[in-house]
Amino acid sequence: MSDCVFCKIAKGEIPVDFVYRDDAVVVFRDASPQAPTHLLVLPVQHIVSAAEVNDPSVWTLIMGRAVEIARGLGLEKEGFRMVINTGVQGGQTVPHLHLHLLSGRNFGWPPG
Ligand code: 5GP
Ligand code: ZN
């Protein structure tokens, strides 16, 4: 979609430091990190939100890649969080499906 910021990033029209990139999925650092490691993992294809996903292989594409990236960063021992905000009440601000991969601080419960 031409006016979608994440489509522009995925197509290389807005420069970012890609952590991973192929024809189907891209991974880059969140501009406003909420943890020492805060990456965004998104399909190149413009899908508005998780609620719009019809093809379950999209989950393998983004979650599988996120776990691969987390392992590559050596995060499997300390742990990490994967979040997909969905829709307005789900806190989604950019209407192009994306998974947040967060690590480096305590997300346990109770928070502290
Ligand atoms: P959401 O709230 O939609 O789940 O998450 C959107 C995320 O995208 C936010 O954490 C925000 O900081 C990040 N973000 C929005 N625009 C840009 C951008 O142009 N570049 C990067 N790297 N991150 C962005
Ligand atoms: Zn898009």
Whether 111 maps to a domain, the answer reads no
CATH number at residue 63: 3.30.428.10
Catalytic residue selected from 38, 96, 98, 100: 98
Residue 47 maps to a domain: yes
Is 98 marked active-site?
yes
Residue 112 has pLDDT above 70, yes or no: no
Answer yes or no: is 14 within a domain: yes
- pLDDT-derived band at 7 (thresholds 50, 70, 90) equals very high
Specify if 110 maps to a domain: no
Domains identified in the chain, total number:
1
Degrees to nearest 5, angle at CA 70 with 29 and 21: 50
H or E element in which residue 102 lies: strand 99-103
| Cβ–ligand 1 contact at 49 (below 6 Å) | no
Residue nearest to atom 18 of ligand 1 (CA): 31
Q: Could you tell me the pTM of the whole model?
A: 0.96
* 27-84 per-position pLDDT tens digit: 999 999 999 999 999 999 999 999 999 999 999 999 999 999 999 999 999 999 999 9
Domain region containing 20: 5-103
